[in-house]
Structure 1
Amino acid sequence: MSRMLVRLSVVFATLVLAAAPLRAEPFPSILVDVNSGQVLEHQDAFKRWYPASLTKLMLMYVVFTELSDGELTLDSTVHVSQRAATQPPAKMYLNPGATMTLDSAMKIIMTKSANDIAMAIAESVGGSEGAFVEKMNATAARLGLADTHFINPNGLPGKGQYSTARDLAVLATDLRRQFPQYAFYFDIPGIDYGEWEIENTNLLMGRFPGIDGMKTGFICASGFNQVSSATRNGRTLVAVALGQPSLGARAKKTAELLQAGFGKHPQGGPTLSTLRPEGGHDEKVYNVYNQICTKKAHDQRMAARDDNGDVVVEAPYMHDQVKRPYIRVKLLTTGGVASARIASIPLPTPRPAHEAMPQTASAYAEAGDESEASQALANAVTGASVPIPRGRPQP
């Protein structure tokens, strides 16, 4: 049987004539030198934002801490509960009772950004979702992430789930500093999953000189988020961009920040620990649903693609992808409950509900991999034709 590839094709250009411009106004961003902590650029870095799947960076931090303390091993077993199996997409569509190693589970969530696997890790490591989220928030407090709070381990939206570009930069730089032995999890080009190959959702992977991580995220309320890291000549930079209008825009923004940063060697200036908000502290959590998940915004994203439907990234300093071998992952057990029975269970309402966001799975899906490809993936994994929630219209 032929293998199948889940990926987004990318085309690079210096000018796109066919597309009307998406939003021009600035959104939160920050660029940091990992070694010194120096802030090289920042824009609205203290504005509270929905992190979406960037939440999974904190999940990884908690797991890395317990691995380093000897509480876990990479061979520890992750169990998929019924609750985990019914998480909204993006997901792997596994049966309740399925198991895998912690190593495989982390590789999946850093590549596919699977919400079901993130929940399975949280429940398996913490004993329950709530106990694991308590660890996430305790870690956030210890790291000084004063404008960050989590209510779940996978980034699905709800009241009380927020962060800032500054706090995410602190988290990302500390991940790089404290856990260099696990840095490879953020640099996986894709996973080889049986008959499927699934490409990393970070479009800079293999296309931007020096890129070595880290994570993307999307919900309608957040827009297209991305944390990217790159290393050149022993110098590592981290760029955070939140609220971008498209897949290509978030890749372009983080690439622009990194490219500019490698040309800068400023003396002095603020660090992550000394940077302060301008104009006072704003506790509002910004929501861009009405700018991202409208028909007009969708049509603009589609118009910005080329004639083959490929994403166009206007970034002359990026290049055609350098292919690297995908990482093999597999299950220990596949579970004993028929996936078709699971699919009939209504998706749970996120806790707590957020009145500004529709309570449907389509508002949550990680951009770029929900539609016919995910339906086929669900069928390949379960061996059955399983009706699953339709993904958000392709951006």
Structure 2
Amino acid sequence: MKFSVYWIARKIRFLAVFVMAFSFAAINARADVAAWLLMDADNGRVLEQHGAFDRWYPASLTKMMTAYIAFRHISGGVMGMNDMVVVSQNALNQPPSKMGFQVGTTITLDNALKMILVKSANDIAVTIAERVGGTEQNFIKMMNATARRLGMTHTSFVNPHGLPDNRQITSARDMAILARVLWTEFPQYRSYLSHPGMRFGRRTFRSGNRDFLLRTDGANGLKTGYICNSGFNVATSATRNGRTIMAVVLGASSSLERSAFAKKLIDSGFNRTAGTNISMLRGSGKTAPPKDHYCKRNAKPSAQQLVDRFGSKRGAVSMLSYANARSPRPKGKSIRLSKKKVNWPLVYKEILGPQLKVYAPVTVRIGSERPIAALKKLGSGVPLPTPKPVAQSGLEAKSLGGIRQPALNVPVGKGASLLPLNALGQRDLFGTPGGLYANVPVSGKTQ
């Protein structure tokens, strides 16, 4: 009898150990962050990387390329920030995130760029693409040609916004190349990458990178992205003592984990200098992007798990351990106010630090940036629009007061058969459908 009890006890202990080992292996199989690359933006040296060549879906990091091409046109004098872009039916048809402006609404390129970089508006990304490329398809060709020129060898674009399409792939290395040229080639436009939020009329939209921007010393921006097949992506940077460190993180399981991981990565980068230039970085990675529904396989961690992993008790450990479940995780500070309530201010302070900046969303609007009062100061050479334009069957190209108005094959207020403006067209100040006659003009009130 004693032998039987002893034998059963041993079997139970063996089974318990087996179950624990199996569970541990299952935990280890989960990757909280799929790939990342840490880089000195000033000299292009890669300070650390993991899975940098693995194929991945860029999601809205795609909009960095859309902005990059627009910035090149502007800096080259082909376009101007006050040039108008026009919302087409094709743009309005895009799924959210979007602004949802009616067909024919015009927006300055300045405001449109803020809308795609802060709000990540897919409809406005198409609007910019049609304005710059003449058609969306022409713009996509420009995107791929630019990617090849920059040495983005693992990237293929099929849309200007990053909405789900399994043909649109990239890698952490390629996104780092794009992020760096976006930052270094256009220092005059860096502010477009750093807004923590956006205000349109009475509505305020927060950037997906807001908490990083407000809580990281020297944070600059750049762009976040998310679709289920990619998880949470980000390309971001910070500048301290004249040195800019940049990180690309792909496949995080939540927006908070994405921000926490990027911050830890960048903080560690300021203590490193050695590395291979990204143009010389060689390696191989997974040739197939993640299978569909990645976000459902990569479970979102709890607030306590994030504090355990990234909080103040974690100390100085390698970045690999932050994404590896095998790394020991000391119990962090308790973030519970009660059994059901989480102390979120403490969570953010623990994993991202205290808030260092005041949240100040940038204001955007549709229509011309120049209100009528400002136009009057320009003199009689600039005509003012009539308060209520008469409906026409179409708009013909014509010269008003020395300003050439581009032809739009669209009835006023209807937006039928809208054609995108030619990239080389003359700038217009007002008068196009949705300009000063937009539903939400400069004053912010509906006419």
* TM-score over 0.5 for the pair: yes
Q: 1:318 aligns with which of 353, 358, 373?
A: 353
CA distance in 2 between partners of 1:265 and 1:149 (Å): 31
CA distance in 2 between partners of 1:156 and 1:262 (Å): 34
For the 8 Å contact 1:74–1:102, the answer to whether it is kept is yes
For the 8 Å contact 1:249–1:313, the answer to whether it is kept is no
Q: 1:70 to 1:113 in 2, by over 3 A?
A: same
Q: SS of 1:177's equivalent?
A: helix
Q: SS of 2:78's equivalent?
A: coil
Aligned residues: 315
CA distance in 2 between partners of 1:141 and 1:244 (Å): 27
Q: State the shift of 1:223 in Å.
A: 0.2
Instruction: Give the corresponding residue for 2:282.
Output: 276
Matched, 1:158 2:162: no
The ranges of structure 1 where at least 4 consecutive aligned residues each deviate by more than 6 angstroms after the TM superposition are: 301-306
Q: SS of 1:93's equivalent?
A: coil
Instruction: Give the corresponding residue for 2:58.
Output: 51
For the 8 Å contact 1:91–1:115, the answer to whether it is kept is yes
CA distance in 2 between partners of 1:149 and 1:80 (Å): 25
Q: 1:299 to 1:238 in 2, by over 3 A?
A: closer
Kindly provide the amino acid, as one letter, of the partner of residue 221 in structure 1. N
Q: What is the correspondence of 1:136-155 to structure 2 with a 5 Å cutoff?
A: 136-155=143-162
Instruction: Give the corresponding residue for 1:36.
Output: 43
Q: SS of 2:238's equivalent?
A: strand
Kindly provide the amino acid, as one letter, of the partner of residue 362 in structure 2. I
Q: Deviations over 1:108-138 (max 9, x none)?
A: 1111101111111111111111000111111
Q: State the shift of 1:324 in Å.
A: 4.3
CA distance in 2 between partners of 1:75 and 1:58 (Å): 20
CA distance in 2 between partners of 1:281 and 1:297 (Å): 23
Q: Deviations over 1:237-288 (max 9, x none)?
A: 110000000011100111011000012233xx311011111xx45421223x
Q: State the shift of 1:93 in Å.
A: 1.5
Q: 1:244 to 1:298 in 2, by over 3 A?
A: closer
Instruction: Give the corresponding residue for 1:9.
Output: none
For the 8 Å contact 1:252–1:313, the answer to whether it is kept is no
Matched, 1:292 2:292: no
Q: What is the correspondence of 1:23-172 to structure 2 with a 5 Å cutoff?
A: 23-24=30-31, 26-172=33-179
Considering only CA atoms, is the larger Rg found in Structure 1 or Structure 2?
Answer: 2
CA distance in 2 between partners of 1:22 and 1:109 (Å): 35
Q: 1:88 to 1:321 in 2, by over 3 A?
A: farther
Q: Deviations over 1:294-345 (max 9, x none)?
A: 7x94696899797369594475552225214321111118x9459xxxxxxx
CA distance in 2 between partners of 1:172 and 1:249 (Å): 21
Instruction: Give the corresponding residue for 1:248.
Output: 256
For the 8 Å contact 2:253–2:301, the answer to whether it is kept is no
Kindly provide the amino acid, as one letter, of the partner of residue 353 in structure 2. M
CA distance in 1 between partners of 2:343 and 2:158 (Å): 36
Q: With structure 2 as the length reference, what TM-score do the two structures score? A: 0.65
CA distance in 2 between partners of 1:332 and 1:22 (Å): 52
CA distance in 2 between partners of 1:55 and 1:214 (Å): 12
Structure 1: segments with no counterpart, 5+ residues: 1-19, 339-380, 384-395
CA distance in 1 between partners of 2:178 and 2:158 (Å): 17
Q: 1:310 to 1:291 in 2, by over 3 A?
A: farther
Percent of paired sites with the same residue: 40
CA distance in 2 between partners of 1:246 and 1:120 (Å): 29
Structure 2: segments with no counterpart, 5+ residues: 1-26, 307-334, 369-411, 416-443
For the 8 Å contact 1:246–1:301, the answer to whether it is kept is no
Q: State the shift of 1:290 in Å.
A: 3.3
